[in-house]
């Protein structure tokens, strides 16, 4: 009897534990959440516990959402564990949401405050709709990335574009294959860094390489960060934090790097007191106690990483996609080249001021972003319950907008899968004028509503000039007939599975580089020798082995050899003619002429180096100088008076003969 009672007690105890565990599992996972309403959007069949997670992870996120929308409709209700999701894959539904519910969906979504990338709780891009976001939005669109700020930094981007051209030309002369993504990364990263810090950090302690690797690693973990954010609430009940170690590792390294940069910047604040770069504006807002919102150091570091990350990797992917489409569509490439040749010509590089006069180039960029948006899926959060298309949307529902499908909606775009820039020139859209489509939020490469990307104007500028330069200056040869357009897996950003590699072929004639590039190359070589060798400064003379391959001389310049390293110079030597340091008056290029390796229209300079072409080429180059102040990069205001003098002498000699 005692043994039977013991057995019954053990059985009852095990059965009780089993029932308790079953009730717990049912309440956590199997029980449908109480949405407070039954009139929800249609939902595909789901599995217990995980809901529709298996349907989303079967392939690329935007492709999985596209399959669901094509099978079940363009407005769906999904569930991942107990997280509610509304999937929108229609331009008309997106237009209704952003037009009527814009404020309601002005928050990003379920982001783990202490576990997200790049100082998540301080991130401007991920911040919830509130006072901090409003303050940073106003600061960004008015001062950091506003029209005046972009105008001030135009020279920075022009300089980096010329460097990209020189690098590609060097590769072309050697008939080397070029990784477009790697070369363009230097352009975008250095441009953004100079806009942020007033300088390029690529030459100091390898910090640029560290920052680039962190940005690439961070964008590669976007899928993990998304899953960690979405699954945080159901998994935290069991004390599980998904991918916490990996995500926090990247976040901590970003914070350490930005802290070093910020400390260095603060120590040199008096030296760099121009106040023109973005970091100075942020520090000014940080020290302004009467500002609308008092930001701290973490805000500055996070906003800096937001701008650098959002302005580098995404633009690199976009340029690769657009160039791949142009190579696969030679007729479009030829028409674009004809427009650039007609408007810009072949005597200079394309400039930002040319973009408004190049409508087909603008159409090519917009069409590339339509087919290949950097972020094919946009996330928002319904802050309160509402009705959309007659369906009830509960509070705290996650909105997933598949912009990849929205911008391929056949009800809006004619032949949506075709690369057809003419649709943005007017007359190709089924709904009428293209500007109406843009205004009605059916073209969403940068998101929609008040949470749209604040750097869209900068993106159009960088994309236009980079694509325009590569089309203007080079033909492109690839292995095979077509570029592989397969999309990469493992990230929420849209990138190519195989890097775009092709061989540039210089066009004839080639555009003339500006005088600015000579001065910058001279300064770079001189500073590199001083920093690395701690020896003599050669000033304006150049070593043959350090010149770009594309501009090496056919024979040694006698003037360069006469001023060789046998004569030691003081690095503070000041030229009494042009006022620049590093050389004496007898070695000034403005008096003795340019070295032989510097060419105009592919012809080496002779003794009569000053010609009308030289004057016209130099005069037409973009520069930030004005009558009140001289340009800090090329000192053109100081040089101009001298060159005007030489121009007058040349005119007198010409007419005297």
Inter-residue long-range contacts of 327-332, CB under 8 Å, 24+ positions, other chains counted:
327/476, 327/478, 327/483, 327/502, 328/419, 328/482, 328/483, 328/485, 329/419, 332/364, 332/419, 332/421
Q: At what angle do helices 244-267 and 297-328 cross, to 10 degrees?
A: 110
- Alpha-carbon distance 114 to 96, whole Å? 33
Q: In what order do the strands lie in the sheet with 501-506?
A: 178-179, 501-506, 474-477
Look at residue 274 in the predicted model and tell me its pLDDT. 53
Look at residue 142 in the predicted model and tell me its pLDDT. 87
- Alpha-carbon distance 544 to 655, whole Å? 39
Look at residue 325 in the predicted model and tell me its pLDDT. 97
| Residue with the larger pLDDT of the pair 217 and 128 | 128
Which whole number is the average pLDDT over 189-204? Answer: 74
Task: Read off φ and ψ for residue 506, nearest 5 degrees.
Answer: -60, 140
The encoded tokens of residue 133 equal 């976001």
The position carrying tokens 């209700």 is 77
- Alpha-carbon distance 279 to 297, whole Å? 11
Q: Using the predicted structure, report yes or no on whether residue 466 has a pLDDT greater than 80.
A: yes
Look at residue 411 in the predicted model and tell me its pLDDT. 86
Q: Using the predicted structure, report yes or no on whether residue 13 has a pLDDT greater than 80.
A: no
Which whole number is the average pLDDT over 415-421? Answer: 95
The position carrying tokens 């959309």 is 388
| Residue with the larger pLDDT of the pair 121 and 344 | 344
Q: What is the mean pLDDT of the chain?
A: 74
Q: Using the predicted structure, report yes or no on whether residue 620 has a pLDDT greater than 50.
A: no
**Helix ranges (DSSP H) in 77-153:** 91-100, 131-139, 147-152
- Alpha-carbon distance 303 to 255, whole Å? 11
Percentage helix, strand, coil for the chain under 3-state DSSP, each rounded to 5: 55, 10, 40
Distances (CA, A) of 598 to 384, 552, 647: 65, 9, 20
Look at residue 80 in the predicted model and tell me its pLDDT. 85
Q: Using the predicted structure, report yes or no on whether residue 516 has a pLDDT greater than 70.
A: no
DSSP state of 544: G
CATH 3.40.50.300 fits 124-367+450-501, yes or no: no
Look at residue 214 in the predicted model and tell me its pLDDT. 75
Look at residue 477 in the predicted model and tell me its pLDDT. 94
Percentage with pLDDT > 70 across the chain: 59
Q: Using the predicted structure, report yes or no on whether residue 11 has a pLDDT greater than 90.
A: no
Look at residue 207 in the predicted model and tell me its pLDDT. 67
HSE value, Cβ hemisphere, 13 Å, CA-based, for 202:
15
| Residue with the larger pLDDT of the pair 289 and 476 | 476
The position carrying tokens 């990849």 is 404
**Helix ranges (DSSP H) in 273-410:** 278-287, 297-328, 330-343, 359-371, 403-406
3-state SS class at 564: coil
Q: Which residues sit in the known binding site?
A: 453
Question: Which residues are CB-neighbours of 643 under 8 A, at least 6 positions away?
Answer: 590, 615, 618
The encoded tokens of residue 590 equal 């403005």
The encoded tokens of residue 534 equal 């701690």
- Minimum mean pLDDT range among 82-96, 296-310, 606-620: 606-620
Q: Using the predicted structure, report yes or no on whether residue 414 has a pLDDT greater than 80.
A: yes
* Cα-to-chain-centroid distance, residue 289: 32
Q: Tell me the pLDDT tens digit for each residue of 544-557.
A: 334 344 444 344 34
Which whole number is the average pLDDT over 369-374? Answer: 95
Which whole number is the average pLDDT over 282-292? Answer: 85
Look at residue 50 in the predicted model and tell me its pLDDT. 82
Confidence of residue 505 (pLDDT cuts 50, 70, 90): very high
Look at residue 614 in the predicted model and tell me its pLDDT. 44
- Most confident segment among 289-303, 425-439, 537-551, 635-649: 289-303
Which whole number is the average pLDDT over 388-404? Answer: 92
Q: Using the predicted structure, report yes or no on whether residue 461 has a pLDDT greater than 90.
A: yes
Cβ atoms of 208 and 189 within 8 Å: the answer is yes
Handedness of CA 220, 226, 232, 238 (dihedral sign): negative
Name the pTM for this structure.
0.71
- Most confident segment among 485-494, 550-559, 568-577: 485-494
- Minimum mean pLDDT range among 37-41, 365-369, 448-452, 508-512: 508-512
- Most confident segment among 220-224, 275-279, 559-563: 275-279
The position carrying tokens 């302005």 is 311
Q: Using the predicted structure, report yes or no on whether residue 405 has a pLDDT greater than 90.
A: yes
Confidence of residue 570 (pLDDT cuts 50, 70, 90): very low
3-state SS class at 154: helix
Q: Using the predicted structure, report yes or no on whether residue 58 has a pLDDT greater than 70.
A: no
Given its phi and psi angles, is residue 199 left (phi above 0), alpha (psi -120 to 50 degrees) or beta?
beta
- Minimum mean pLDDT range among 60-74, 87-101, 265-279, 376-390: 265-279
- Alpha-carbon distance 632 to 3, whole Å? 96
Look at residue 252 in the predicted model and tell me its pLDDT. 80
- Alpha-carbon distance 286 to 292, whole Å? 11
Candidates 595, 500, 484; CA nearest to 539 is 595
Q: Using the predicted structure, report yes or no on whether residue 647 has a pLDDT greater than 90.
A: no
Which whole number is the average pLDDT over 573-599? Answer: 58
Q: Tell me the pLDDT tens digit for each residue of 307-331.
A: 887 888 899 999 999 999 999 999 9
Hey, how many other C-beta atoms are within 10 angstroms of the C-beta on 525? Answer: 19
- Minimum mean pLDDT range among 68-82, 224-238, 278-292, 438-452: 224-238
Candidates 464, 472, 466, 475; CA nearest to 502 is 475
Cβ atoms of 352 and 471 within 8 Å: the answer is no
Distances (CA, A) of 13 to 5, 444, 447, 615: 12, 59, 56, 97
Q: Which residues sit in the known binding site for heme?
A: 453
3-state SS class at 180: helix
Look at residue 280 in the predicted model and tell me its pLDDT. 82
Q: What is the helix (H) or strand (E) element at residue 591, kind and residue range?
A: helix 589-592
Which whole number is the average pLDDT over 91-110? Answer: 86
| Residue with the larger pLDDT of the pair 332 and 617 | 332
| Residue with the larger pLDDT of the pair 642 and 485 | 485
Look at residue 429 in the predicted model and tell me its pLDDT. 46
What are the residue ranges of CATH 1.10.630.10 in the chain? 124-367+450-501
Look at residue 271 in the predicted model and tell me its pLDDT. 58
Confidence of residue 403 (pLDDT cuts 50, 70, 90): very high
| Residue with the larger pLDDT of the pair 159 and 649 | 159
- Alpha-carbon distance 445 to 427, whole Å? 21
3-state SS class at 398: strand
């Amino acid at each position: 009897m005692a043994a039977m009672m013991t057995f019954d007690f053990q059985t009852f105890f095990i059965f009780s534990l089993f029932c308790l565990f079953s009730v717990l599992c049912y309440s956590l996972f199997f029980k449908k959440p109480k949405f407070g309403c039954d009139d929800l959007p249609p939902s595909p069949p789901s599995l217990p516990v995980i809901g529709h997670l298996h349907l989303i992870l079967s392939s690329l996120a935007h492709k999985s959402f596209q399959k669901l929308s094509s099978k079940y409709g363009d407005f769906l209700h999904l569930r991942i564990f107990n997280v509610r999701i509304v999937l929108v894959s229609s331009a008309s539904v997106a237009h209704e949401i952003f037009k009527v519910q814009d404020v309601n969906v002005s928050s990003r979504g379920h982001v783990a405050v202490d576990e997200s990338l790049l100082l998540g709780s301080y991130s401007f891009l991920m911040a919830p709709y509130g006072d901090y976001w409003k303050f940073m939005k106003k600061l960004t669109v008015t001062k950091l990335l506003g029209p005046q700020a972009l105008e001030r930094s135009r020279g920075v981007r022009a300089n980096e574009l010329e460097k990209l051209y020189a690098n590609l030309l060097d590769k072309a002369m050697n008939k080397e294959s070029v990784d477009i993504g790697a070369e363009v990364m230097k352009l975008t990263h250095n441009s953004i860094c100079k806009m942020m810090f007033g300088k390029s950090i690529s030459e100091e302690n390898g910090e640029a390489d560290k920052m680039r690797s962190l940005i690439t690693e961070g964008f590669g973990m976007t899928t993990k960060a998304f899953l960690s954010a979405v699954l945080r609430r159901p998994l935290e009940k069991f004390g599980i934090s998904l991918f916490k170690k990996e995500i926090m590792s990247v976040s901590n390294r970003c914070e350490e790097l930005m802290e070093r940069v910020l400390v260095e910047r603060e120590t040199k604040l008096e030296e760099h007191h121009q106040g023109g770069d973005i970091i100075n504006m942020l520090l000014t807002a940080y020290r302004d106690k009467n500002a609308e919102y008092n930001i701290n150091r973490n805000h500055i570091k996070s906003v800096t990483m937001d701008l650098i990350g959002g302005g580098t990797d995404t633009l690199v992917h976009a340029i690769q996609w657009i160039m791949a489409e142009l190579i696969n569509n030679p007729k479009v490439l030829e028409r674009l080249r004809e427009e650039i040749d007609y408007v810009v010509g072949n005597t200079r590089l394309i400039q930002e001021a040319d973009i408004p006069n190049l409508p087909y180039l603008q159409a090519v960029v917009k069409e590339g972003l339509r087919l290949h948006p950097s972020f094919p899926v946009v996330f928002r959060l319904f802050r309160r319950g509402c009705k959309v298309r007659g369906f009830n949307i509960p509070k705290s529902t996650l909105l997933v907008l598949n912009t990849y499908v929205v911008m391929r909606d056949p009800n809006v775009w004619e032949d949506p899968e075709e690369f057809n820039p003419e649709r943005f020139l007017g007359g190709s859209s089924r709904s009428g004028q293209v500007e109406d489509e843009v205004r009605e939020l059916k073209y969403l490469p940068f998101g929609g509503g008040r949470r749209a990307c604040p750097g869209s104007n900068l993106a159009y500028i960088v994309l236009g000039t980079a694509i325009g330069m590569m089309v203007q200056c080079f033909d492109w040869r690839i292995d095979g007939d077509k570029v592989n357009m397969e999309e990469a897996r493992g990230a929420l950003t849209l990138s190519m599975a195989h890097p775009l590699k092709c061989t540039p072929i210089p066009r004839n004639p080639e555009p003339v580089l500006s005088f600015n590039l000579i001065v910058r190359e001279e300064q770079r070589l001189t500073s590199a020798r001083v920093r690395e060798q701690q020896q003599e400064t050669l000033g304006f003379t150049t070593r043959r082995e350090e010149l770009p391959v594309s501009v090496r001389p056919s024979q040694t310049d006698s003037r360069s050899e006469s001023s060789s390293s046998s004569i030691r110079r003081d690095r503070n030597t000041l030229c009494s003619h042009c006022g620049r340091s590093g050389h004496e008056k007898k070695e000034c290029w403005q008096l003795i002429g340019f070295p032989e390796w510097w060419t105009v229209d592919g012809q080496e300079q002779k003794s009569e180096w000053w010609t009308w072409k030289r004057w016209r080429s130099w005069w037409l180059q973009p520069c930030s100088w004005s009558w009140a102040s001289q340009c800090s990069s090329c000192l053109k205001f100081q040089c101009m008076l001298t060159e005007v003098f030489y121009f007058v002498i040349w005119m007198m000699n010409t007419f005297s003969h």
